[in-house]
Amino acid sequence: MKKVHNFYAGPSILPEFTYQETIKAIENFAGTGLSIMSISHRSKQFEATLNEATGLFKKLLNIPDGYSVLFLGGGASLQFAMIPFNLMIKKAMYLDTGTWSNKAIKEAKLFGDVEVISSKDKNYSYVPKGFSIPSDADYFHFTSNNTIAGTEIKHDFDSPIPMIADMSSDIFSRPVDVSKYAMIYGGAQKNLGPAGVTFVIIKDDILGKTDRKIPTMLNYQIHIDKGSMFNTPPAMNIFATLQTLKWIDQQGGVEVMQKMNIEKAQILYDAIDNSKLFVVKVDNVEDRSLMNITFVMKEEYKNLEADFLAFASEKGMLGVKGHRSVGGFRASTYNALPKESVIALVETMKEFEKSI
Ligand SMILES: *Cc1c(COP(=O)(O)O)cnc(C)c1O
């Protein structure tokens, strides 16, 4: 098999440790002689897995007391609806920085007034700055990393009202001050585990303020009370997620992840900035994502985009095509992507440039 490099945006690369440990657990989970696929989620072995995953979430992100960690189904997309269902009384504020924020806003509008600050005017190529968060809204929602547009908010805002972030594609990529948030959530399949498990970090005291009747499965309080076991959780995916958390811990935690991510992204951004063919799509350097690096060919070389994709794929660079809604290229440089893969992509870009 030829050497391949995985730049897919999601589902995406996970640590080799995660794959190997999950393979073992599929054969024989925790010495039970049974597969992780085939053992009760009420077994003490699975309960230990869930507890360990919750504990590592709290340790690695320094989550203060008063917060719960949930592992649910439905993807980040179900959270788009669960958030207003549980938390909106009258009005919320959303920062619209791309496709995913936009989808979250659409759901919120079903439940009340939504005030929006957007960067849609320039195709989401920047992150809005200098806006104020209204103190009369029930919560403020933003997407920290815009997986499709390639922008990222790499700091924690100060918000006068409960703050909620979709961190699907940059969770565990840097330290986060969880105490500033009412809730942080995301699908696991970008930086954490296989698709099918959604993590929610939620401050317990933000719940119970709406009179709305909430269906059981959509009610955060139920999931908190039942410890993510109201119904059968995605057990194997939680097991795999736990392996990634262990790997992050072994590497030295989120500070080490951040240092490696900055270094990897810098190598690729420098190569693009110094190339005669390629150009980064994001307007401001400080808004550039460290997780999803989006770029295109300069106007005069636009006709070479398909050729480059074919060349890159021939060289084993997989998943470099931009999202179907925006085109161009996207290289995802998540925690588990080794620096060697970034260097290999840069070499491929240089080789292509020489060949034309
Ligand atoms: C991928 C992604 C989603 C959608 O996640 P699903 O788990 O597929 O619902 C939402 N938000 C962001 C930022 C994403 O990258």
Q: Which residues contact 130 (CB under 8 A, 6 or more apart)?
A: none
pLDDT of residue 1: 72
> 276 CA distance to ligand 1 centroid (A)?
33
Portions of the chain given CATH number 3.40.640.10: 16-251
Mean pLDDT of the chain: 97
CATH class belonging to 253-355: alpha beta
The pLDDT of 41-62, averaged and rounded, is 98
pLDDT of residue 326: 87
Per CATH, is 16-251 categorized as 3.10.129.10? no
The pLDDT of 140-168, averaged and rounded, is 98
- Please confirm whether the linkage preceding 134 is cis (ω < 30° from 0): no
**pLDDT (tens digit per residue) in 204-218:** 999 999 999 999 999
Atom of ligand 1 nearest to the CA of 169: 15
> Using CA positions, which residue lies closest to atom 7 of ligand 1?
75
Buried b / exposed e across 67-104, counting CB within 10 Å, b at 16+? Answer: bbbbbbebbbbbbbbbbbbbbbeebbbbbbbbbbbbbb
Q: Which residues line ligand 1 (CB under 6 A)?
A: 10, 75-77, 100, 143, 147, 166, 168-169, 187, 190
Of the residues 96, 138, 156, 166, only one is catalytic, namely 166
Query: What's the pLDDT band for 163 if we cut at 50, 70, 90?
Result: very high
User: Within 13 Å and on the Cβ side, how many CA atoms surround 181?
Assistant: 25
Q: Which residues contact 325 (CB under 8 A, 6 or more apart)?
A: 99, 148
Atom of ligand 1 nearest to the CA of 78: 9
**pLDDT (tens digit per residue) in 97-141:** 999 999 999 999 999 999 999 999 999 999 999 999 999 999 999
**pLDDT (tens digit per residue) in 294-351:** 999 999 999 999 999 999 999 999 999 999 888 899 999 999 999 999 999 999 999 9
**Whether the predicted pLDDT of 92 surpasses 90:** yes
Choice from 78, 79, 83, 100 to test ligand 1 binding pocket (greatest atom count within 8 A of CB): 100
**100 noted as active-site residue:** yes
**Whether the predicted pLDDT of 47 surpasses 80:** yes
pLDDT of residue 99: 96
pLDDT of residue 219: 98
pLDDT of residue 27: 98
Portions of the chain given CATH number 3.90.1150.10: 253-355
The Cα–Cα gap between 147 and 154 comes to 13
The Cα–Cα gap between 202 and 103 comes to 21
pLDDT of residue 2: 80
Q: Contact at 8 Å (CB) between 289 and 100?
A: no
Report CA-CA distances (Å) from 267 to 146, 206, 260, 340, 342: 20, 42, 11, 11, 7
The pLDDT of 138-159, averaged and rounded, is 98
> 124 CA distance to ligand 1 centroid (A)?
17
> Using CA positions, which residue lies closest to atom 14 of ligand 1?
168
CB atoms within 10 A of CB 20: 11
Query: What's the pLDDT band for 50 if we cut at 50, 70, 90?
Result: very high
pLDDT of residue 332: 98
pLDDT of residue 226: 98
Report CA-CA distances (Å) from 154 to 34, 173, 262, 303, 311: 42, 10, 11, 34, 33
Of the residues 96, 138, 156, 190, only one is catalytic, namely 190
pLDDT of residue 8: 98
The pLDDT of 63-73, averaged and rounded, is 98
Atom of ligand 1 nearest to the CA of 195: 7
The pLDDT of 127-156, averaged and rounded, is 97
**Whether the predicted pLDDT of 159 surpasses 90:** yes
**Whether the predicted pLDDT of 46 surpasses 90:** yes
Which pair of structure tokens corresponds to residue 172?
Answer: 């565990």
> 100 CA distance to ligand 1 centroid (A)?
7
